[in-house]
Chains A and B, each alone.
Chain A
Amino acid sequence: MRSKQANLLQGTLDLLVLKALGPGELHGLGISRRIEQITRGTFLVKPGSLFPALHRMEEAGWLTSLWGESENNRRAKYYRLTKTGKRQFELETEQWATVALAMTNALRAT
């Protein structure tokens, strides 16, 4: 499992967080679990990367936060996409598609 974990590509973490928050609000651990799930365990986001990213994105105005109750009655900080965040997600998705296509083509080229 560990060995399969890929290094987070520079810049992919933001996109993954935005994607993870697409359906609705989540707390830190929730985001980390969701990313693990949607990448089928390829990406394990450690708190050392996660929290700085969340704070940075909140400062940038892509996320807002609110305090709420967790499943087992703990007070946790939940993050939600803002309008700017949604626009940012669309933008980054598009960019990623372009890059991914270009990379794939480049690697297939003979």
Chain B
Amino acid sequence: MKLWSRVRSVWQNLLRKRQVERQLDDEVRVYVDLIADERIAAGMSASEARRTVLAEFGGIEQVKQAARDHRAGVGLVSFWQDARFGLRQLWRSPGFTLAAVAALALGIGANTAIFSVVNAVLLKPLTYPDADRMVNFLRPSSVIANNLHNVPEFHFFQRQTNIFKQVVAFDSAGPGFNLTGGRPEQVHGIHVTEGYFSLYGAHVVLGRTFTHEEDSPHGGKAAVLSYGLWQRKFGGDRSIVGKSLSLGNEPYTIVGVIGKDFVADVQADVWLPFQFDPASTDMNHFFYVTGLLQAGVTVAQANVQLLAAGSAYHREYPRTNQAEQFTVGPLRDSIIGDARNSLLTMLGAVGLVLLIACANVANLLLVRATVRRREFAIRSALGAGRARIVRQLLTESVLLSFGGGILGMVLGVLGMRALLAVSPAGLPRIGEDGSAIGMDGRVLGFTLGVSMLTGILFGLFPALSASRSDLNSSLKESGNRSGAGLRQSKARSLLVVTEISLALVLLIGAALLIRTFIALHAVGPGFVAHNVLTMEMSLNGERYQTTAGLTQLLQDGRARLNALPGVAVAAAGYWLPIDVGDDTGFQIVGRPVDKDCCVSKWMSITPGYMSLFRIPVLRGRDFTEDDSADAPAVALINEAFARQFWPNEDPIGQHFRRGKIVTVVGIVADFHSSGLAKPADPMIIAPIPQVRDGTTAAYSNIQPLFWLERTRDDPRLSIAAITEQLRLASAGFPVAHIRTMDEVMGRSTARQSFNMLLLTVFGAVALLLAAIGIYGLMAYSVAQRTQEIGIRMALGADRATIRKLVVWQGMRLALVGVAAGIAASFGLTRLLSTFLFGVKPWDPAVFVSTPLILTAIAFLAVWLPAARASKVDPMQALRAE
């Protein structure tokens, strides 16, 4: 009954509004009429009776509004009214609306963009079945910080069944596989152990994954296909299982196909079994290990137990580094890595941009509220309570922010796409060129939430201050020239000061990152990247399991390339000079044996590698063709190596033991082998023909060979000829990842340039918004004070004085903002320190120049209204009143 009557009332109130209104009208009028009737009957004149009744009644409209406010569904009705009225109001002042929506779209757009990245990288859950119990095995104490493991370690981990339910291994980048037969193509394949697919929750659409036998030595050649390769290469043939796949001229039997939705951290087209030998004592670290914790075991407990078990491992393998410890960390953390800090910093920065945008719009709203004071006074005279007026204003500001939000969403997603296209971010989990970044429920919710919140944030203060106005004086005032109250102009000044200080914080951050970027690029990498072409070849097959086979390919290939007219010099090697990822232990001959002493980076090359990259040989000689397998073992070292291991002796002619006795024949200049931001590590360089067969075989599985050519002109012009010659030399192998060395260098600083670009864009937006903010404030203040300025001029102030007056008023705010901004920056730039290179967080040049730039722009923004003020015609200004 009660519910029914309510529903009926809502229905009536909403849909038969006119009738309900007329009845309310009649009801109230009759009340007045009835009393008036009595008074007329008592002898009052008709007009006198009405007048006294109305006076006692206390405002017919207010009474009616009070009655309306009690109706069911009133919230809905008045919200609809507010929204429609708000839209009309905004429509009627397009300049204001456009400015506000644009500022908000910039702020919200920037936030949406960053949040969509944060969402993809940090927030989206891992798609694996027991992702929260999955851990990565780490090697925190290794010399080169990587988390690669070897076969004995893997088997040791597998034996810890009280800690781990399952332990699997996989390699990552890998060399790729040459899919031969038909047109040669290099596909991305990785090795995995038997349990990999079930641990990572791969869904099998056809056939099965590897059996235990297939993942054991001599288990035959089995392969599992990805959905993509199955569709692309085999047209989705449903009878594919059991058929043969030719990888590097060797037949593999296809045992299964994995579903389309399988997304692992290491993407692959094809998977092959590792086939580890349980008795292996191979100490090479070349794959990653992931485990599933037993139910109820925490990461901390696992680490304690693993530490205890580690000593057993070291007893079993006494030749290993005894100080080395094994630990595990949540899989999630090792995937995200150090991207978290950088993203959260950016989220903070972009939050500041939004705050500035909010301050700007709040400022605009305050101005508008002053102009609309009469309107509010009339509304409250007609029965609107303060709450209703505040609600109306809030509705308008939320409308504005939603407009900004919708525009910002589009702007943000497009902007992020463009940015990622310009500068690949080097972030995990974002897919190829950021394809995993996009709109989903969470990003949408975030944008809507931010819009709502900003709408209330910047709307509430102006709304409260507007609704406080005194009805009587507002109505009496002429309205258009009534200056802003003292309290309000203080509030607006505070907003502008805040804007400027926040903008300065962002600008200083951006300037520091720009300096980092410049410093990074000013670092001589130690080699000349220009006009060098790099390409990768995967050496699958029996022939390349021995050094002799490889040497033959290298000689033939280099001879063919050197004969090309466009190629000045050709060489090959494992690893590019900017990224050398292998290390080795060694003993210096003639010194006491110390097992844990000597570790260095290690790479192998052909003759020509050093001269191709223009890495100078400082002393001794470079490799020649004579450094063959039969010749005495030789090595090059770099300056860092010489400094560390032979600080007081001449290294040339010295020997070290690395399997066999090796003679140092030359010292090359240092180059940045771990990226530009890190100094050169000690490095041993070996000629490929002298590398052990075991190492060659291992490398053929884990690392592609780089073919390198220094070209006479644009390297791109020679690609076709070079790839053709290499195909001929290798009997049909394709090359992949063809890049100029300049591109490789760009990628190596991708994260830094991404951060720099982002913060620079934010800084520029902040600067623009702050400039608009102070300009708006001063322009409005000049408009308000036209009359005062007129009087001053009439009393003899000249134009320069007026200009100075206005400029000083504005610049005072700007300077206070700058001072506050500098103070805040001193505290905040420390957060950036991990992203900086070659510049201190309190770099004096940045802390002096950036405030100066901001001050100059503020001056410009203040100058325009000041110039206008000085052109005021006193006669006109005074007459205008």
Contacts and interface: CB of A to CB of B under 8 A. Distances in A.
Interface in A15-45: 27-29
B66 A84 contact: no
Interface in B64-95: 64, 66-72
B36 to A, nearest CB: 10
Interface in B1-34: 1-2, 5-6, 9, 23, 26-28, 30-31, 33-34
Contacts of A27: 30-31, 34
A70 B70 contact: no
Interface stretch (B55-63, B552-560, B635-643): B55-63
Given A47-B28, A75-B30, A77-B26, A84 B1 contact: yes
Contact of A51 (B5, B9, B28, B34): B28
Interface string B184-206: 00000000000000000000000
B385 to A, nearest CB: 12
Contacts of B23: 67, 77
B37 interface: yes
B31 A47 contact: yes
A90 B198 CA distance: 70
Interface string B39-66: 0000000000000000001110011101
Contact of A76 (B1, B5, B34, B71): B34
Contacts of A61: 1-2, 5-6
A46 B31 CA distance: 11
A76 B30 contact: yes
A22 to B, nearest CB: 20
Contacts of B28: 47, 51
A48 B37 contact: no
Interface in A33-80: 46-48, 51-56, 58-61, 67, 70, 72, 74-77
A74 B70 CA distance: 26
Nearest to A61: B5
A74 B62 CA distance: 23
A59 B72 contact: yes
The CB with the most chain A CB atoms within 10 A, among B2, B26, B34, B35, is that of: B34
B37 A59 contact: no
B27 A56 contact: no
Contacts, number: 73
B26 A29 contact: no
Nearest to B32: A47
- Say which size band chain A's interface belongs to: 20 to 34
Nearest to A77: B27
A45 to B, nearest CB: 11
Interface in B99-129: none
B5 A46 contact: no
Interface string A80-97: 000010000000000000
Contacts of A55: 67-68, 70-71
B57 A47 contact: yes
A69 to B, nearest CB: 11
B63 A29 contact: no
A60 B64 CA distance: 19
B34 A74 contact: yes
B770 to A, nearest CB: 48
B5 A59 contact: yes
A72 B38 CA distance: 10
A48 B63 CA distance: 5
A47 B281 CA distance: 98
B5 A60 contact: yes
Given A28-B31, A29-B31, A61-B2, A51 B26 contact: no
A52 B2 contact: no
Contacts of A46: 58
A56 B63 contact: no
Nearest to B58: A48
Nearest to A30: B34
A90 B6 CA distance: 22
Given A52-B70, A75-B26, A59 B34 contact: no
A46 B72 CA distance: 22
Nearest to A51: B67
Contacts of B69: 52
Contacts of A59: 5-6, 9, 70-72
A51 B383 CA distance: 14
Nearest to B70: A56
A55 B65 CA distance: 11
A44 to B, nearest CB: 10
Contacts of A47: 28, 31, 57-58, 63
A48 B66 contact: yes
A43 B5 CA distance: 30
Contacts of A58: 9
Contacts of B1: 61, 84
A95 to B, nearest CB: 18
A77 B58 contact: no
Nearest to B60: A47
Given A46-B58, A48-B58, A60-B5, A74 B30 contact: yes
B291 to A, nearest CB: 65
Contacts of B70: 52-53, 55-56, 59
Given A47-B57, A48-B58, A51-B67, A60 B31 contact: no
A70 B66 contact: no
Contacts of B5: 59-61
B34 A29 contact: yes
B58 to A, nearest CB: 5
Contacts of B63: 47-48, 51-52
A93 to B, nearest CB: 19
Contacts of B2: 60-61, 84
Nearest to B57: A47
A51 B66 contact: yes
Contacts of A75: 26, 30
Contacts of B6: 59-61
Interface string B820-849: 000000000000000000000000000000
Contacts of B27: 28, 51, 76-77
Contacts of B62: 48
Contacts of B66: 48, 51-52
A51 B64 CA distance: 8
Contacts of B26: 75, 77
Contacts of B9: 58-59
B35 A29 contact: yes
Contacts of B57: 47
B26 to A, nearest CB: 7
B23 to A, nearest CB: 7
A54 to B, nearest CB: 8
A86 B26 CA distance: 27
A52 B23 CA distance: 14
A108 B93 CA distance: 66
Contacts of B68: 55
A70 B67 contact: no
A67 B715 CA distance: 95
Contacts of A28: 27, 30-31
Nearest to A83: B1
Contacts of B30: 27-29, 70, 74-77
Nearest to A57: B70
B33 A74 contact: yes
Contacts of B35: 29
Contacts of A74: 30, 33-34, 37
11 contacts: A27-B31, A51-B27, A51-B28, A51-B63, A51-B64, A59-B6, A61-B1, A76-B27, A76-B30, A77-B23, A77-B26
Interface of B: 1-2, 5-6, 9, 23, 26-28, 30-31, 33-35, 37, 57-59, 62-64, 66-72
Q: Which 9 A-B pairs have the closest CB atoms?
A: A61-B5, A56-B70, A51-B67, A52-B66, A77-B27, A76-B30, A55-B67, A52-B70, A55-B70
Interface of A: 27-29, 46-48, 51-56, 58-61, 67, 70, 72, 74-77, 84
Given A29-B31, A55-B67, 5 more contacts: A27-B30, A27-B34, A47-B63, A67-B23, A77-B27
